[in-house]
Amino acid sequence: MQRRQILKAIPLFLATWASSAYAQNLNNDAIRLFDVAAAKHKRELEMLWKLRSAPRIHISKASSASIANILSVQDKSDDEATYPNKTSVLFYSYNVGKLHVWLLDEYGIQAYHNQSISKQQISEAISSLRNSLNINFFQRSLTPRQKTDVQNPTVKTQVRKSQKLAINELTQILLPTPIANKLDIVEHLIVVPILDIGTVPYAILKPFKNDYFLIDRMSISIAPSLFDVGQALVKTSIASLSLSPLIVGNPFLPESDDWSVPLLPGAAQEAKSVAKLMNAVPLLGKKATKTEILSKVEKSSFLYFATHGVANSHNPLLGGFLMLSAKKLQEGWWTAQEIQNTHLKAEMAVLSACQTGLGQTHDAGIIGLSRAFQIAGVPRVVMSLWSVDDQATSALMQAFMKHLETQFPSEALRRAMLEIRQDYSKPLEWASFVMFGTPR
């Protein structure tokens, strides 16, 4: 009888052993591929630095083991920030017609997936999601534009999919099933994007079996690169941010023969509300000149701009800028190139302006305003992915500043989104802002 039970158990044992061996081999392959992709990511990033003539930044080696170790460290100096528990990194790589994606935490790689898909298909899925939200139509009335920019009536418009279908399709690409199955235990997600994946509003993706958005379950940060995950950061608090804040609202923008610039009626009140929370005096209207701002910006602990921003996919360094007050409109432009060559000590910048998260896409990410602030020395940048409604933006930013009193930035932004959804239910109104940095 005992011999019979042993014989019956052998197939189960062999199946279990085979399954375990297969899983181990799969994990070993995922580790090997991750380390190869990390080396490729480093080369692409170094090329990107040269392309944008950025100040030289040291890029260390990265591996799945080193990233896991960084996420696991909890004991550092009193001033240095560590990652909160249940933080995971979502890392992408594209090679030879395949999109690779890894999810790893302090214990190593938890999931890996690759799929055959073209860069064009990825871009079309992202564009389809933006189109389903009606972003392009909505922002025409909110975005500054050159008067010579007349929409070509012969250009074929994209067929508009339902919002649900567009979200589901992009979720399957960016958070495929093996990755989605491991997201239940994640509370803070760091996305390391490539191509134009960094322009995706991850907050509204739906990888769960229920109808929850991703933002319902976790905070989301967009890291400029894999190597930023290991960057040492000083702890931030509303008290440290309030030491010398620079808050700018609704700069006076003179009329121009070349540009059409919509009004921002809510920007001044938004800046006043934020300034009140920080016990500061904002620069408003004609006082918010480029000259005045540049005289203060290098000494400021916190930067807040409620103004127009312009992104340019063809000339991101000179064609991407924040609009500040000056006698002539163009004299008030603070370009991405100027920003990245400034020495800033601010712990955070909030760009409550149109399209500050956009720019020119490359294999290693995006050249644009948000990255320019990071190169200048600001580790955390709140940016927008599309032109936003004045009132919804003001409500979101005030809620964000309130939650910063008790939460780290990406979690504060998550809670602000959940809060204003009660009054602004459309993702178009609450999902445009993202945290550019890491959750510390």
Q: What is d(CA 70, CA 165) in angstroms, rounded to the nearest whole number?
A: 37
Of 34-48, 285-299, 389-403, where does the model show the most confidence?
Answer: 285-299
The mean per-residue pLDDT over the stretch 178-189 comes to 97
Which of 58-62, 163-167, 340-344, 392-396 is predicted least confidently?
58-62
Q: What is d(CA 65, CA 83) in angstroms, rounded to the nearest whole number?
A: 16
> Is the model's pLDDT at 354 over the cut of 80?
no
- pLDDT, one tens digit per residue, over 74-96 is 766 667 788 999 999 999 999 99
The mean per-residue pLDDT over the stretch 361-383 comes to 78
> Is the model's pLDDT at 153 over the cut of 90?
no
> Is the model's pLDDT at 52 over the cut of 90?
no
| Architecture of the 238-436 domain | 3-Layer(aba) Sandwich (3.40)
> Is the model's pLDDT at 197 over the cut of 70?
yes
The mean per-residue pLDDT over the stretch 429-436 comes to 92
The mean per-residue pLDDT over the stretch 234-263 comes to 91
CB 403 within 8 A of CB 416: yes
pTM over 0.85: yes
Q: Within 10 Å of residue 257's Cβ, how many Cβ atoms?
A: 6
pLDDT at 7: 53
pLDDT at 22: 39
Q: What is d(CA 326, CA 330) in angstroms, rounded to the nearest whole number?
A: 8
Q: Distance of CA 116 to CAs 168, 259, 364, Å?
A: 18, 43, 19
What are the residue ranges spanned by the domains of the chain?
65-230, 238-436
Amino acid identity for residue 394 in this structure: S
DSSP-assigned letters across all residues of 284-339: EETT-BHHHHHHHGGG-SEEEEES-EE--SSSHHHH-EEE-B-SSGGGGEEEHHHH
- What percent of the chain shows pLDDT beyond 70? 84
Which of 166-175, 362-371, 401-410 is predicted least confidently?
362-371
More confident residue, 340 or 4: 340
pLDDT at 359: 54
pLDDT at 18: 43
> Is the model's pLDDT at 32 over the cut of 60?
yes
The mean per-residue pLDDT over the stretch 300-320 comes to 86
Residue 17: pLDDT band by 50, 70, 90 thresholds? very low
The DSSP letter of residue 263 is -
The DSSP letter of residue 84 is P
- pLDDT, one tens digit per residue, over 201-233 is 999 999 998 989 999 999 999 998 888 888 878
Q: Distance of CA 381 to CAs 7, 251, 384, Å?
A: 62, 20, 10
Q: What is d(CA 236, CA 440) in angstroms, rounded to the nearest whole number?
A: 8
What does the mean pLDDT of the chain come to?
A: 85
